[in-house]
């Protein structure tokens, strides 16, 4: 089985390419909705969404950072991923109207930990399917 190419789409300044983070990183300027927008563009050009577009709880959703994992795909469009992104965008807009947090180091750390967990889960999924 050929190894898939993974990319991380993020607005978190704590996430960048390094030997410890050996995946491609697509840096996005802006807020989490801008990350969703850029991810959606990529899903229309041969990439597939692997991680959940919504964080696990509302306080984190109101935070300033979001990181998503995508993989190279054989298909031109990831229809399911684009639907998930659209639903996430709607939910983000509702929650972020209520209360939006200023960038803080804690939110960057939480986002990085959620990304690491998603990458671990993806790795486990790949190894169990081979």
pLDDT more than 90, % of the chain: 55
pLDDT in tens, 2-11: 578 999 999 9
User: For 59-113, how does the pLDDT look when each residue is reduced to its tens digit (9 = 90+)?
Assistant: 888 889 999 999 999 999 999 999 999 999 999 888 877 666 565 678 888 998 9
Q: Nearest Cα to 89, choosing from 26, 37, 51?
A: 37
pLDDT of residue 26: 97
pLDDT, position 1: 43
Tell me if 84 sits within 8 A of 41, measured CB to CB: no
Helix axes 32-43, 79-98, angle to 10 degrees: 170
Residue 34, pLDDT above cutoff 50: yes
Element (H, E) at 83: helix 79-98
pTM (2 decimals)? 0.85
Helix (H, G, I), strand (E, B) or coil at 26: strand
CA distances from 107 to 1, 19, 44 (A): 36, 23, 29
What's the pLDDT at 100? 61
Burial class (CB in 10 A: 0-12, 13-18, 19+), 4: middle
Residue from 88, 116, 103, 94 nearest 29 by CA: 103
């Amino acid at each position: 089985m050929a190894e898939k190419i993974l990319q991380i789409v993020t607005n978190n300044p704590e996430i960048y390419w390094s030997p410890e983070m050996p995946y491609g990183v697509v840096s996005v300027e802006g807020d989490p909705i801008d990350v969703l927008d850029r991810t959606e563009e990529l899903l229309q050009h041969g990439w597939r969404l692997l991680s959940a577009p919504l964080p696990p709880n509302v306080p984190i959703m109101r935070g300033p950072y979001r990181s998503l994992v995508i993989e190279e795909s054989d298909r031109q469009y990831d229809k399911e991923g684009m639907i998930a992104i659209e639903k996430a965008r709607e939910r983000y807009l509702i929650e972020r109207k209520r209360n939006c947090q200023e960038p803080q180091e804690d939110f960057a750390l939480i986002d990085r930990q959620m990304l690491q967990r998603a990458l671990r889960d993806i790795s486990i999924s790949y190894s169990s399917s081979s």
